[in-house]
Amino acid sequence: MFSVNDTIVAIATPPGRGGLGVIRISGADAAAIANKLIARTKPLTPRHATFARGVVGASHQPLPDQVVLTYFVSPASYTGEDVVEISAHGSPVVLSGILRAAVAAGARLAEPGEFTLRAFLNQKIDLVQAEAVADLIDAVTPLQARAAFDQLEGTLTTTITAIEKDLFDIAAKLEASLDFPDEGYHFVAPKEAGEAIEKLISRIDTLLADSRRGRMVREGAAVAIVGTPNVGKSSLFNALLNANRAIVTAVPGTTRDLLTERADIGGLSLSLIDTAGLRETTDVVEKEGVARAKAAVAVADVTIVLLDRSRPLSMDDRELLGVTTSKPRVVAWNKIDLPPSLPLEPLDPIEAIAISATTGAGIDRLIAAIGAALGSGESLRDRPQVTNVRHTALLDRAGESLTRAATALASEVSEEFPLLDLQDAGAALQEITGRKTTDDLLRHIFERFCIGK
């Protein structure tokens, strides 16, 4: 891992030009290095902004800029160390000049995520909150940002800590019973301990049930629009994107390849996939497009099966309805702005949504149905607690260990056997928050951060 004794520096704002740019310095020598940059004899005042004209460059030549320095004294800073943030004009030339000057004055260039790593090591935040920092920076939808912010505020940590506390209480009573076997006294009856463990399993199951929605919020989802030629797939694709991204013509088979775009739909970051019309064809190019469309259905999180309400169902329509029965899907009748086919064929027991990709009628209902299909019937605007696959895997492990412990207690075996499983469950929960972790795990987590954070 990185050395925690160095004073580190990095540009904390994105590359490019802007109204402002920020240089962040953290470590024991942060204030001394900052004083050298502005040739200041008077020390910086903690928690006060200091204005300076000009900055001393690495070659001791002044950089033409005006800056504001803000000094945070340990432990009341983001990293828990002394921190100085220098706000300058967002010129790449000026910012890189200040950066070089800080290095020349004794600072080391920070590695990706090193500021947040120091915040974790100095117990300013736990590992869940550290991961939430990266998720908040990477958020592209309001729901992603809100879910990440909730974790940064400690909502998941509070829940995990409460489970861990109750788990420790059960383990302590079983341990006490094991330590005093001659007295023949059980500090907790096996049945009582088993019931308490079952309650913990239920709480973990609730978090795990929430994790699928959480993964969708954090990572997004793939939604494929499929149907036979000329049912309006490209028109729906454009309607969901609010942009004329796909070519729309009256000629069947216009789309011959997969067309993919990212979109914020119903609070989720979705990869929308427009596919070629599914039908038997001898055209070599169209045949490849049909094959790719079928592959997209196989990997999509949800498939929108689009039907044309203005014409009777074809054999290809019926085949498509059959092959998607076992997959998460939404069935939609398109072209309700046109006269319906006579008679309009029922799709019972399938609940189909009537829409018009041309006029926009029914699109809101379709979006709600997509959200329901992705969120297991729950509102995707209810912020999930668990969004990280690492957390999900560790909760799974904790739940399995607790289940083994409950089974052992029901078999009335010695307390030492369920205790081993309870210890493993506790270790899994501690890995989530970072109370128990490895350097390899920390490196894996923090290396995906941007430099300066």
pLDDT at 424: 94
3-class DSSP assignment, residue 375:
coil
CA–CA distance, 77 with 90 (Å, rounded to integer): 23
pLDDT at 446: 83
pLDDT at 84: 96
35 sits in which H/E element? helix 30-37
Average pLDDT over residues 241-269: 62
Domains of the chain (ranges, CATH numbers) = 8-126 (3.30.1360.120), 137-216+388-434 (1.20.120.430), 225-374 (3.40.50.300)
Q: What is the pTM of this model?
A: 0.74
Average pLDDT over residues 436-448: 79
Give percent above pLDDT 90 in the chain: 27
Q: Give 30-47 pLDDT, tens digit per residue.
A: 999 998 888 777 889 999
Average pLDDT over residues 217-224: 80
CA pseudo-torsion sign 398, 401, 407, 412: negative
404 sits in which H/E element? helix 389-410
CA–CA distance, 132 with 147 (Å, rounded to integer): 9
- Determine the angle formed by the axes of helices 155-179 and 190-219, rounding to 10 degrees: 160
3-class DSSP assignment, residue 271:
strand
The amino acid sitting at 57 is G
pLDDT at 251: 45
Residue 209 banded pLDDT, cuts 50, 70, 90: confident
Tell me the chain's radius of gyration from C-alpha atoms. 29
Q: Give 87-102 pLDDT, tens digit per residue.
A: 999 889 889 989 999 9
pLDDT at 247: 46
Is the predicted pLDDT of residue 428 greater than 50, yes or no?
Answer: yes
pLDDT at 183: 53
CA–CA distance, 161 with 23 (Å, rounded to integer): 35
Q: Which residues of 159-192 are buried (b: 16+ CB within 10 A; e: fewer)?
A: bbbebbeebeebbebbbebeeeeeeeebebebee
Is the predicted pLDDT of residue 273 greater than 50, yes or no?
Answer: yes
Our CA angle for 365, 370, 376, nearest 5°, is 120
Is the predicted pLDDT of residue 255 greater than 60, yes or no?
Answer: no
pLDDT at 384: 66
The DSSP output letter for 338 is S
Residue 254 banded pLDDT, cuts 50, 70, 90: very low
Residue 249 banded pLDDT, cuts 50, 70, 90: very low
Question: Which of 129-138, 258-267, 343-352, 381-390 is least confident?
Answer: 343-352
The amino acid sitting at 423 is Q
Higher pLDDT, 4 or 389: 389
Q: Give 158-191 pLDDT, tens digit per residue.
A: 999 999 999 999 888 888 777 665 555 566 777 8
Our CA angle for 107, 14, 77, nearest 5°, is 50
Residue 57 banded pLDDT, cuts 50, 70, 90: low
